[in-house]
Structure 1
Amino acid sequence: MSTPFGLDLGNNNSVLAVARNRGIDVVVNEVSNRSTPSMVGFGQKNRFLGEAGKNKQTSNIKNTVDNLKRIVGLNYDDADFATEAKYFSSKLVKLDNGKIGAQVRFAGEQQTFSATQLAAMFIDKVKNTVISETKANITDVAIAVPAWYTEEQRYLIADAAKIAGLNPVRIVNDVTAAAVSYGVFKGDLPEGDQKPRIVAFVDIGHSTYTCSIGAFKKGELKVLGTAYDKHFGGRDFDRAITEHFADLFKTKYKIDIRENAKAYNRVITAAEKLKKVLSANTAAPFNVESVMNDVDVSSELSREDLEELVRPLLDRVTVPIEQALANAKLTVEDVDFVEIIGGTTRIPSLKDSISKAFGKPLSATLNQDEAIAKGAAFICAIHSPTMRVRPFKFEDVHPYSVSYFWDKQEEDEDHLEVFPAGSSFPSTKLITLHRTGDFSMEAKYTNAKELPAGTPVELAKWDITGVQLPKGQTSIPVKLKLRCDPSGLHTIESAYTVEDITVQEEIPKEADAPEDAEPEYREVTKTVKKDTLNIVAHTFALSEKKLNECIEKENELAAQDKLVAETEDRKNALEEYIYTLRGKLDEEYASFASDEEKSKLKDMLAKAEDWLYEDGFDSIKAKYIAKYEELASLGNIIRGRYLAKEEEKRQALRAKQEASQMAEMAEKLAAQRKAEAEKKEEKPDAEGDIDLD
């Protein structure tokens, strides 16, 4: 049975959660952190994923890729590319399909990986983290992504999960996942005919600002409106601080950190820490040792100075709130509570601006860092066929209108708006077309002018075949079940032709008709299913061939990472054995080895040490194992003698303790018997006890 897994795919850090033990647990990573850096690094032999990538980022800056979710599905020629590129230290290149890839030096040569592959590498890493920490079987995942993700990006994230060996049961908007977490665990929500509770969720993370308005009843959520600013987040604050100090250091220390990627990364890392300190303090020092050219830099920054640096950002705070309320057709007075999530909402000036925009105090009943992952885990549990969860129904909202287009025939219309903007999903619509033969359909956004720049207008295309026109008819009715699925993806679920047939239907008897009256029939025309049609979908998803190639590549890289890790473990085990055995040979093991054995073993240890730091410094796993076993062939004999003597001592001590306990117990029993005998002698004889009265 698969344990439901929820992944909050963050831009800076990701949070992992699982549904188990009648609750939702956040999974810690290999260093016991409750979040994992969302980055992938490349080295001479293997990859550095998550924490390992973060640890090596400064020294491996050109070959470390972060901001992964920002480039998934992004075209190299999009206007957003220039904005995103400035946050990357690795080289971004244009792929053959026009998308963005990262060019890195890996295993001694230049290699290029697509954004989908990079996301898959990270998802594979966190999947293994969950398996390692929970000892559970993990196959299903619900992934939380930004509300501004296009249909293409949702398909590609789903593909990334498949490359990582997971089944993406749902791609959910991140703030919707947080809202689900709120609705599931809140016990005081209205019921029945009571007025729904209106809650605004404001999520400001590392790179994105989203506001969603939800209506809650017990066991039920309906998202009413969502708006976002996709270029507003913690990284913009970090960059503003870094740019401020870059100018300052250029004047004060005559160094330009913009010319040195490692120096810039050191300063931006320090800027992130400074930003967090200023959330709780009015001023803080800023120091970075040996930032570049062996120069140590120092300065300070006040909270007021920071607010002035980010004034252009603060001026945009109210925009998503106003848009979300307009989409939901509500005013601030209609909102009952405002919940803040995301690490950047801890900045005091942002909290003040949000509170003023709604005209009410803010709530933080949800864990700001973990609410999204917990909601995603619950959503994954909903899809589990073997897990029982408390009933909870939720619907998201279409941000833009979607229409379906088809080949125009005769005087028919050639399109239909199926999912209007503001309508809820998942949802299904059944339409009927009159066709003369096989045809194609296409889903597109209805109003291209409303879309953000770079958003593909076309969503999917389907070829529908198998239409057989009956003789004597100019067309045949075709029923199509159009669906916007739980992940917000538009599909054609089924297609079939129908025909009208005439059947005999019994006429209901009148109330005063005699019981033995003969039944009467009438002819009725009914529409029934005739032929199921074939549907061939053309979506943004990777082709089966390309997907399999990516899966094979990821498996190959994962196997290489595992081999490198195991080789390093064997090398470390050999090194530890050499030093441990050498130290004990003159101490604990001294009386258990002959002079000849000691001399031979010391010579073997010295040769193994020389080999380890010279020819064997970069060897293979099998050679480390062979060297270890060569030393152990003699070392373990001596160690065995020592352990046998120690065991003999333990047994003797145990026997002595047991004998002492038995003697002590015998003494207690003897004393008890003596006390009972003395008590019996002191007791008067019953026959001599006479009443003289």
Structure 2
Amino acid sequence: MSVVGFDIGNENCVIAVAKQRGIDVLLNDESKRETPAVVSFGDKQRFMGSAGAASATMNPRSTILQVKRLIGRRFNEPDLEKELKLFPFETFESSDGGILIRLQFMGEVHEFTPVQILGMLLSHLKQIAEKNLEMPVSDCVIGIPSYFTDLQRRAYLDAAVIAGLRPLRLLHDCTATALGYGIYKNDLSNSGPVYTVFVDIGHCDTQVCVASLEAGQMKIISHAFDRSLGGRDFDEVLFNHFASQFKEQYNIDVHTNIKASVRLRASCEKLKKVLSVNAEAPLNIECLMDEKVVRGLIKREEFEKLSSDLLERIVVPCRKVLADSGLTLDRINSVELVGSGSRIPAIARVVASIFNREPSRTINASECVARGCALQCAMLSPIFRVREYEVQDSLPLSIGLSSDKGPVCTLSNGVLFPKGNPFPSVKILTLHRTDMFNMEAFYVNSNELPGLSPQLNTFTV
């Protein structure tokens, strides 16, 4: 039996395992520490991970990527319409209002739900772990974004069941990062807590949290997020820039060709990484479209100017998490910047201007979530002995409860579990009823869930 942590990213996945001497990140079949979150269906077989990413350019319509954005979502959500247009594969609405993915596989038309695709991906990650460890893998902790609704969390658990995994807990990404950071921090004094801000800019989202670190315990004070701001949005800025440039310069429109769009987006992502360490970067693509070789050049200053709107959006969750924590800037001891999208120099400058201090990069930006999940799994599993360390998360969204006769709550504003409440937590309610009645749990602030249903669950007692 082994203890494993999974970080299912929008672009890549990382597997970490707890061993007697610490936490190790496992290598896949290509000896890489990150595995692409891609499932591709070929003419005769299915490709996953690195093999799926390799066939994405040749077979874009049957290659499923960024499935994390579709999990637990409804097809008619307003902000999902723009999302679906970016995907090369075909999606449509299922009978229950969810999302179905239609594709060709072995000469037939197949339809899959995002949960089934995620189950395939988790099964592939499980096989990688079992091959490395040479033993069965069952117990695990999976990292999830803090903004996930109950429906999305349950979808992750369903996908884990498909893969034959037993998740001991779903752990928020920033909480996992804070755990991996805090448990190894040896310079904590007994004079009081050390407050650290963790800014996680991933491929598709931005998450921020404030953690209180003390000897033997870690508490999350507040969460904030932007669910649709990540590294891929900066890729899209470059994509649109060069798409319009090539249309004018070479008279080709990549929007009309799926393969050309996939190749240009992949090149723009590489270009963004080059711009992170260089003042300018060239773009050369052989036979992009209509047998034409395209060339371009962009400077970092021009890229930052094109991305100015995105950089301004990073300020919002950073200021919100500080306001929700009730702390002043002078009480923040350090700021840690992680995530695959955090390597852009302009982002570091924005974060530094908000918190009046240069952000640190003392933890691995891509592996910190998986390592934290593996640590949490070791704490919850009876297999390992881990030194006493308390992990206390906080609710990212306020939750209310109502019955047929109105709100059921202990607070005047109708909230049963307020945002920032310790999580997990328990409250005991006493209700006097003589007949059968219905109850409903719901998210109180629907404005924090744009386009999503505020309903959590319904109960008949």
Give me the TM-score of the superposition, normalised by structure 1: 0.65
| Cα deviation, residue 406, structure 1 | 2.7
1:239 matched to 2:232: no
Q: Is contact 1:180-1:375 (8 Å) kept?
A: yes
Rounded to whole Å, the distance in 1 between the matches of 2:55 and 2:15 is 22
Aligned pairs for 1:279-678 within 5 A: 279-408=276-405, 414-416=407-409, 417-448=415-446, 450-464=447-461
| Cα deviation, residue 319, structure 1 | 0.8
Seen in structure 2, the aligned counterparts of structure 1 residues 160 and 335 have a Cα distance that, compared at 3 Å, is same
* Number of positions where the alignment pairs a residue of Structure 1 with one of Structure 2: 456
| Cα deviation, residue 447, structure 1 | 4.0
Tell me what 1:625 maps to.
Answer: none
| Cα deviation, residue 7, structure 1 | 0.7
Aligned pairs for 1:112-123 within 5 A: 112-123=111-122
1:394 partner letter: V
* Superposed CA offset, 1:625-667 (max 9, x none): xxxxxxxxxxxxxxxxxxxxxxxxxxxxxxxxxxxxxxxxxxx
What secondary structure does 2:175 align onto? helix
Tell me what 2:162 maps to.
Answer: 163
2:118 partner letter: A
Tell me what 1:587 maps to.
Answer: none
Rounded to whole Å, the distance in 2 between the matches of 1:202 and 1:130 is 29
| Cα deviation, residue 263, structure 1 | 0.6
Give me the identity figure in percent: 38
1:384 partner letter: S
Tell me what 2:20 maps to.
Answer: 21
1:67 partner letter: Q
1:274 matched to 2:271: yes
In the alignment, which of 209, 214, 226 is matched to residue 212 of structure 1? 209
| Cα deviation, residue 437, structure 1 | 4.2
Q: Is contact 2:392-2:423 (8 Å) kept?
A: yes
Rounded to whole Å, the distance in 1 between the matches of 2:454 and 2:308 is 34
Tell me what 1:110 maps to.
Answer: 109
Tell me what 1:152 maps to.
Answer: 151
Q: Is contact 1:213-1:224 (8 Å) kept?
A: yes
Tell me what 2:52 maps to.
Answer: 53
What secondary structure does 2:259 align onto? helix
The CA RMSD measured in Å over matched residues stands at 1.3
| Cα deviation, residue 82, structure 1 | 1.6
Tell me what 1:199 maps to.
Answer: 196
1:336 partner letter: N
Q: Is contact 2:146-2:396 (8 Å) kept?
A: no
Q: Is contact 1:190-1:216 (8 Å) kept?
A: no
Q: Is contact 2:10-2:69 (8 Å) kept?
A: yes
Rounded to whole Å, the distance in 2 between the matches of 1:292 and 1:442 is 54
1:43 matched to 2:36: no
1:200 partner letter: V
Rounded to whole Å, the distance in 2 between the matches of 1:107 and 1:65 is 16
Rounded to whole Å, the distance in 1 between the matches of 2:443 and 2:270 is 42
Rounded to whole Å, the distance in 1 between the matches of 2:362 and 2:44 is 45
Rounded to whole Å, the distance in 2 between the matches of 1:175 and 1:136 is 30
Q: Is contact 1:9-1:144 (8 Å) kept?
A: yes
1:259 matched to 2:256: yes
Structure 2 residue ranges without an equivalent (≥5): 410-414
| Cα deviation, residue 208, structure 1 | 0.6
| Cα deviation, residue 289, structure 1 | 0.7
| Cα deviation, residue 55, structure 1 | 0.5
Tell me what 2:72 maps to.
Answer: 73
Seen in structure 2, the aligned counterparts of structure 1 residues 279 and 217 have a Cα distance that, compared at 3 Å, is same
Rounded to whole Å, the distance in 2 between the matches of 1:241 and 1:341 is 22
Q: Is contact 1:197-1:215 (8 Å) kept?
A: yes
Rounded to whole Å, the distance in 1 between the matches of 2:404 and 2:242 is 60
Rounded to whole Å, the distance in 1 between the matches of 2:224 and 2:445 is 17
What secondary structure does 2:427 align onto? strand
Tell me what 1:187 maps to.
Answer: 186
Rounded to whole Å, the distance in 2 between the matches of 1:446 and 1:303 is 43
Q: Is contact 2:89-2:103 (8 Å) kept?
A: yes
| Cα deviation, residue 60, structure 1 | 0.6
Tell me what 2:412 maps to.
Answer: none
1:365 partner letter: T
Tell me what 2:4 maps to.
Answer: 5
What secondary structure does 1:385 align onto? coil
1:463 partner letter: T
Rounded to whole Å, the distance in 1 between the matches of 2:454 and 2:242 is 42
Q: Is contact 1:404-1:415 (8 Å) kept?
A: yes
Q: Is contact 1:13-1:35 (8 Å) kept?
A: yes
What secondary structure does 1:337 align onto? strand
Rounded to whole Å, the distance in 1 between the matches of 2:407 and 2:231 is 46
- Structure 1 stretch 295-304 or stretch 436-445: which is displaced more? 436-445
* Superposed CA offset, 1:1-29 (max 9, x none): x2111011100111110111331100110
| Cα deviation, residue 222, structure 1 | 1.0
Rounded to whole Å, the distance in 1 between the matches of 2:404 and 2:139 is 38
What secondary structure does 1:227 align onto? strand
Q: Which has the greater radius of gyration?
A: 1
Rounded to whole Å, the distance in 1 between the matches of 2:314 and 2:450 is 21
Seen in structure 2, the aligned counterparts of structure 1 residues 250 and 447 have a Cα distance that, compared at 3 Å, is closer
| Cα deviation, residue 432, structure 1 | 1.5
Tell me what 2:29 maps to.
Answer: 30
2:408 partner letter: H
Rounded to whole Å, the distance in 1 between the matches of 2:328 and 2:46 is 50
1:27 partner letter: L
Rounded to whole Å, the distance in 2 between the matches of 1:82 and 1:420 is 31
| Cα deviation, residue 182, structure 1 | 0.6
- Structure 1 stretch 152-161 or stretch 397-406: which is displaced more? 397-406
2:294 partner letter: V
Structure 1 residue ranges without an equivalent (≥5): 465-693
1:225 matched to 2:222: yes
Tell me what 1:569 maps to.
Answer: none
Rounded to whole Å, the distance in 2 between the matches of 1:215 and 1:349 is 27
Rounded to whole Å, the distance in 1 between the matches of 2:86 and 2:394 is 31
| Cα deviation, residue 118, structure 1 | 0.8
What secondary structure does 1:45 align onto? coil
| Cα deviation, residue 232, structure 1 | 1.0
Moved over 4 A (4+): none
Rounded to whole Å, the distance in 2 between the matches of 1:341 and 1:406 is 42
Rounded to whole Å, the distance in 1 between the matches of 2:407 and 2:223 is 31
Query: Could you say which structure has the greater relative contact order, defined with CA pairs below 8 angstroms and 6 or more residues apart?
Result: 2
Q: Is contact 1:189-1:218 (8 Å) kept?
A: yes
What secondary structure does 1:93 align onto? strand
Rounded to whole Å, the distance in 2 between the matches of 1:190 and 1:42 is 54
1:233 partner letter: G
Rounded to whole Å, the distance in 2 between the matches of 1:261 and 1:22 is 48
What secondary structure does 2:211 align onto? strand
